[in-house]
Amino acid sequence: MGILDFLTGEFIDVIHWTDDTRDTMVWRFEREGHAIKYGAKLTVREGQAAVFVHEGQLADVFTPGLYMLETNNMPILTTLNHWDHGFRSPFLSEIYFVNTTRFNDLKWGTKNPIICRDPEFGPVRIRAFGTYSVRVTDPARFLTEIVGTDGEFTMDEISFQIRNIIVQEFSRAIAASGIPVLDMAANTADLGKLVAREIAPTLESYGLTIPELYIENISLPPAVEAALDKRTSMGMAGDLGRFTQYSAAEAMTSAAANPSGGGMAAGIGAGMGMAMGAQMARQGPWGAAPQSGAVPPPPPPVEHVWHLAEGGATAGPFSKAAMGRMASEGRLTRDSLVWTAGQDGWKRAEEVQELAQLFTVLPPPPPGA
């Protein structure tokens, strides 16, 4: 074996890359002076692609497999330069390994609320968040458009840009969908597919695709959610009366749990308890509603009839109207003895409240009569 053959064997490169970081998208094979020797062995594993850059120009892209870097199997490189210098190649070459597997469980979310028009609630502000996955489908374009000459490019360096693209398209899709807020939870799968389809052209220009995009939650501002919770509570209560009882019970529970309220809290609780008790008493046992919705009117007052003692005999019965006519004719006087059912014995007419009113329009007897 000649010295030249020995040196050639010693300087044959073995170029490969194994990654255990789980977030590296591109890694440059480091060689002093970036001199890749003629006849070097290049190993590209599954889930990888190797981009060969020769003297600043993208020469070729290698898919998974084992390659010998020689001119007979590198036609693109051959058109740039002829490797006829043996193992002492003067050409500056670089090899970038690109991870083509999926990067999963990446987070996205709306930094600020999105304003959209809901057909039921009107203008509302909503927030959303979820996950997505991304992969490199065009290593050459990804290297030229995004990575450049970065020797180690990670997912964190582009995730913020992808999140912005997702949020922009999500805002546009959710505003144009016309889906009510209360029905969005049932349509998150369709919305995710719609957003992924809308952002596909933009990411394709980067050499990327999004195989999956999930919308985990769409939420409303706290004030709107509180109003919805109260509306749900009213629906569970069934009617306004029961909702009033429910609210009073909740208020009493809160007042009892707040020791700093002191006597004021106790007073509020007592007042609410009395009001609640009165409401329950009106509704019947166990808070049940009365059988009939209308309250029956009170019975009419019973009209008294009167008997009159005249000359040792009893006359009557007379109604109050008849007694009034008799008073105007002088037959009934203040001293006339009268009796009605339920009265304790005979009484003078002016001593009976109902009949005393009949004499207010008549002058009293003259003095000495």
What kind of fold does domain 306-359 have according to CATH? Dna Ligase; domain 1 (3.30.1490)
Q: Is 150 left (phi over 0), alpha (psi -120 to 50) or beta?
A: beta
- What phi and psi values does residue 276 have, to the nearest 5 degrees? -65, -40
pTM of the model: 0.56
What kind of fold does domain 103-220 have according to CATH? Tetrahydropterin Synthase; Chain A (3.30.479)
**Which residue has tokens 């005393």?**
356
Cα separation, 52 vs 40, in Å, equals 13
DSSP 179: -
| Helices marked H in the chain | 3-10, 75-80, 139-142, 156-177, 188-204, 222-237, 240-256, 262-283, 320-329, 353-356
Omega of the bond leading into 119 within 30 degrees of 0 (cis): no
Quote the crossing angle between the two packed helices 222-237 and 240-256, to the nearest 10°.
120
pLDDT in tens, the chain (369 residues): 444 444 444 445 788 898 888 889 999 987 766 567 767 788 999 999 999 887 778 888 999 999 887 655 554 444 444 444 444 444 567 889 999 999 999 999 988 888 888 887 788 888 899 999 999 999 999 999 999 888 899 999 999 999 999 999 888 888 887 788 878 888 888 888 888 998 999 999 999 999 999 998 888 878 777 877 777 766 665 556 666 777 777 777 776 666 655 555 555 555 555 655 565 555 555 445 455 556 777 766 666 777 777 777 777 777 777 877 887 777 778 778 887 877 777 888 777 777 777 776 555 566 775
Question: Starting at the edge strand that comes first in sequence, how are the strands of the sheet with 93-99 ordered?
Answer: 57-62, 48-54, 93-99, 24-28, 152-154
CA 173 vs CA 25, 199, 211: distances in Å: 30, 11, 18
CB atoms inside a 10 Å sphere around CB 128: 23
| 82 within 8 A of 34, measured Cβ to Cβ | no
